[in-house]
Chains A and B, each alone.
Chain A
Amino acid sequence: MESVSFPPLSRVAVCGGTHGNEMTGVYMVRHLQKEKIDKIGSVSVSTVLTNPRAVEICRRYVETDLNRCFTEALLNSPVTDSSPYELRRAQELNAQIGPKGSKEAMDLIIDIHNTTSNMGLCFIFYSIDWFTLHILKYLQSKMASVEVRAIQLDIPIAEAYSLESVGKHGFAIEAGPQPNGVVRADIHNMVKEAVDHIFSWLQEFNSGSTFEGGEVEAYTLVKSIDYPRNPVTGEITAAIHSQLQDNDFKLLQRGNPIFMSFSGETVKYDGEDLYPFFVNECAYYEKKIAFHLARKIKLTLPPIKVTG
């Protein structure tokens, strides 16, 4: 495959606290800010605590989920002092590390998240972005004891609703399982190692290295399944079945148990073979998602190098 060249990635934002109770990102950004890290080799680094009010009260959000506020429509909608805090904050962030779609936007935005699901280390992104995938491939080679996975949301950038869509390139790092409000050293250390490798990659890229092409597997979101609910009250009537719990990315096939009702009945999956993820994510109960389902795809990466 032909090599593709890109300008250097010299302005990078590392973000945490987009959900105020996902602690790895919060502590990572705080630590970088305490150490006054604003440059790593050729890369200038902005560190941003994106939702400080939510961080202060250790809640996912104050009024509305910040990480759903970054569509073009919401970023351009008129806001007043009485608009929800996160809508206003999204527009502030867009001015700071965007604007989305413009040439002033950060070259790369990395947004650090945690999940209560057993997802290990995942990169979540929108478009098939050679950078994200090359970084992922690099991490997979450097972090042999950790399974690093790619999750693609097939949504056009204008409709992309999360923070990392503001940059020219961007991805969310999702690390779990970790409860809300808790910082686990093993999860923190895994993410720290990943971020260190990402900065090594960026410097190698900027200094002219060619990164060989290859294949990476990715999971692309197909649909979501909600909990069984009482049709009148809307209350959930079953829990994720113990055979699905903690088995993110293990192939789910027709007939496999997915829920155990409170009265002891097993609910079985009835659909095509797909891969579950975000299984029993705390924040998704209110979004009516028990788990997501994905198809596995193979992506072929061209070799890439910096222009010049």
Chain B
Amino acid sequence: MSSYNNTARFSEARRVAIFGGTHGNEMSGVTLVNLWTKNGTEIQRKGVEAVPFITNPKAVEKCTRYVDTDLNRAFTPENLSAPGGNDLPYEVLRAQEINRIFGPKGSPEAYDVIFDLHNTTSNMGCTLILESSKDHFNLQMMNYIKKSMAPASCLVLMNEHPLLKYSTSRSVAKHPVGLEVGPQPQGVLRSNIFEAMRVILKHALDFIELFNEGVEFPPCTVEVFRVLEWIDYPRDANGNIIAMVHPNLQDCDWEPLNPGDPMFQTFDGKTIHYQGSGTVYPTFINEAAYYEKQQAFITTRRETLVASAIIKA
């Protein structure tokens, strides 16, 4: 990549993977990848090798999030280099396998782009997840997707927080892109959610095709929501939750949460208020899978990122 102030040059994004079933009960991705594995016409683009791939087949078969451990947290350097063969947890073995096929992570051989398809029980609508504010290729792609989908909403969540960032399946690629669409219960396939995810991917692949053809994308700004912190449920001494997400906060992903606003409601009806120092934008509100991760919702702040112009090198 060349200098910040000029057009950034990236090599052609030829090798693209579409991951489904990283969580085996998030059905849009499972269904789309299975569909495209049988008939990949829809994901074909000139100059792009798009590979649909089920990352966690055992979890998909059991329609469960994971078998031994969360695959989407498993791509740590320690796991990827861990010896131990078949004694390792299933998802660690899978991570190593995926790293062999689509990586190695951090090397020039790694896939150019990986789209990882997820669903959430939270009312997040269409969300793109960005892992680095300095990935101008991804920023431009997300800008293209947002503009193509407008007036339908597609927001960008950015998790660059050094302590909260986690090692995702998509992090194997040079340009990792998370797709998170909700609300959808685990194990359920909703037609509207399925079609929305399909449309996001269509625009994403269109962008890559245009980029590979040599189109220059001028500088742009992208509004993102930057992850600040995770807030857990109030719990008792045994770790059981003693309150629920308040009805006023439930389903209000991306809406401002001000200090003093209701946040939780105890099982006998008392309100617990948000005690932060300023307005935040909560998301992943009441995600089923996050009860065990001690996360009731995350707070974000709005930020505008600037993407330099990009063109194929």
Q: Is the C-beta of B34 less than 8 angstroms from some C-beta in chain A? A: yes
Stretch of B81-89, B101-109, B137-145, B285-293 contacting A (4+ beta carbons < 8 Å) = B285-293
Task: Please determine whether B267 and A181 come into contact, CB atoms closer than 8 angstroms.
Answer: no
Q: Write the B246-288 contact mask toward A (1 if CB under 8 angstroms, else 0).
A: 1100100000000000000101110000000000000000101
Given contacts A180-B185, A262-B31, contact A188 B191 (CB under 8 A): no
From B63, B184, B188, B245, contact of A185 by CB (8 A): B245
Task: Please determine whether A280 and B190 come into contact, CB atoms closer than 8 angstroms.
Answer: yes
Task: Please determine whether B250 and A239 come into contact, CB atoms closer than 8 angstroms.
Answer: no
Given contacts A186-B247, A188-B267, A262-B31, contact A181 B186 (CB under 8 A): yes
Complex-state Cα separation, A236 to B289, whole angstroms: 25
Please tell me the size bucket of the interface on A: 20 to 34
Q: Is the C-beta of A6 less than 8 angstroms from some C-beta in chain B? A: no
Complex-state Cα separation, A235 to B189, whole angstroms: 13
Q: Is the C-beta of A260 less than 8 angstroms from some C-beta in chain B? A: yes
From B191, B246, B247, contact of A239 by CB (8 A): B191
Stretch of A89-97, A129-137, A158-166, A240-248 contacting B (4+ beta carbons < 8 Å) = A240-248
CB distance from A292 to the nearest CB of B (A): 16
Chain B: interface residue total (CB-CB under 8 A) = 33
Complex-state Cα separation, A239 to B265, whole angstroms: 35
CB distance from B167 to the nearest CB of A (A): 24
Q: Is the C-beta of B218 less than 8 angstroms from some C-beta in chain A? A: no
From B34, B183, B289, contact of A181 by CB (8 A): B289
Task: Please determine whether B267 and A260 come into contact, CB atoms closer than 8 angstroms.
Answer: no
B288: which A residues are within 8 A, CB to CB? 179-182
Task: Please determine whether A188 and B244 come into contact, CB atoms closer than 8 angstroms.
Answer: yes
B64: which A residues are within 8 A, CB to CB? 59
Task: Please determine whether B185 and A185 come into contact, CB atoms closer than 8 angstroms.
Answer: no
A239: which B residues are within 8 A, CB to CB? 31, 189-191, 194
Q: Write the A282-308 contact mask toward B (1 if CB under 8 angstroms, else 0).
A: 110100000000000000000000000
Q: Is the C-beta of B132 less than 8 angstroms from some C-beta in chain A? A: no
Main secondary structure of the interface of B (DSSP, over half): loop
A241: which B residues are within 8 A, CB to CB? 191
CB distance from A242 to the nearest CB of B (A): 5
CB distance from B246 to the nearest CB of A (A): 6
Main secondary structure of the interface of A (DSSP, over half): loop
B247: which A residues are within 8 A, CB to CB? 185-186, 189
Task: Please determine whether A185 and B189 come into contact, CB atoms closer than 8 angstroms.
Answer: no
CB distance from A194 to the nearest CB of B (A): 15
Q: Is the C-beta of B152 less than 8 angstroms from some C-beta in chain A? A: no
Q: Is the C-beta of B240 less than 8 angstroms from some C-beta in chain A? A: yes
B187: which A residues are within 8 A, CB to CB? 116, 180, 282-283, 285
Q: Is the C-beta of A184 less than 8 angstroms from some C-beta in chain B? A: yes
CB distance from A218 to the nearest CB of B (A): 27
A4: which B residues are within 8 A, CB to CB? none
Task: Please determine whether B250 and A181 come into contact, CB atoms closer than 8 angstroms.
Answer: no
Task: Please determine whether A30 and B240 come into contact, CB atoms closer than 8 angstroms.
Answer: yes
Q: Write the A224-267 contact mask toward B (1 if CB under 8 angstroms, else 0).
A: 00000000000110011110010000000000000010100000
**Considering residues A178, A181, A183, A260, which has the most beta carbons from chain B within 10 angstroms of its beta carbon?**
A181
Task: Please determine whether B31 and A179 come into contact, CB atoms closer than 8 angstroms.
Answer: no
Return the chain B residue nearest A179 by Cβ: B185
Complex-state Cα separation, A183 to B267, whole angstroms: 11
Return the chain B residue nearest A32 by Cβ: B267
Q: Is the C-beta of A199 less than 8 angstroms from some C-beta in chain B? A: no
Complex-state Cα separation, A285 to B187, whole angstroms: 9
Return the chain A residue nearest B192 by Cβ: A242
Task: Please determine whether A179 and B191 come into contact, CB atoms closer than 8 angstroms.
Answer: no
Task: Please determine whether A185 and B291 come into contact, CB atoms closer than 8 angstroms.
Answer: no
CB distance from B192 to the nearest CB of A (A): 5
Q: Is the C-beta of A31 less than 8 angstroms from some C-beta in chain B? A: yes
B194: which A residues are within 8 A, CB to CB? 239, 262
Q: Is the C-beta of B35 less than 8 angstroms from some C-beta in chain A? A: yes
A182: which B residues are within 8 A, CB to CB? 121, 185, 286, 288
Given contacts A182-B286, A262-B35, contact A245 B244 (CB under 8 A): no
Q: Is the C-beta of A138 less than 8 angstroms from some C-beta in chain B? A: no
Task: Please determine whether B191 and A183 come into contact, CB atoms closer than 8 angstroms.
Answer: no
Complex-state Cα separation, A189 to B63, whole angstroms: 29
From A30, A184, A235, A242, contact of B191 by CB (8 A): A242
Given contacts A186-B250, A189-B247, contact A31 B268 (CB under 8 A): yes
A-B complex: 5 closest residue pairs judged by Cβ atoms:
A179-B185, A181-B288, A239-B191, A282-B187, A179-B121
Given contacts A177-B185, A280-B190, 5 further A-B contacts (CB under 8 A): A183-B241, A184-B244, A235-B34, A245-B192, A285-B63
> Would you give 17 A-B contacts (Cβ < 8 Å), ordered by A?
A27-B241, A27-B267, A30-B240, A116-B185, A179-B288, A180-B288, A182-B185, A184-B245, A185-B250, A239-B191, A240-B189, A245-B191, A262-B35, A280-B188, A280-B190, A282-B185, A283-B187
Interface residues of B (CB under 8 A from A): 31, 34-35, 63-64, 121, 183-192, 194, 240-241, 244-247, 250, 265, 267-269, 286, 288-289, 291-292
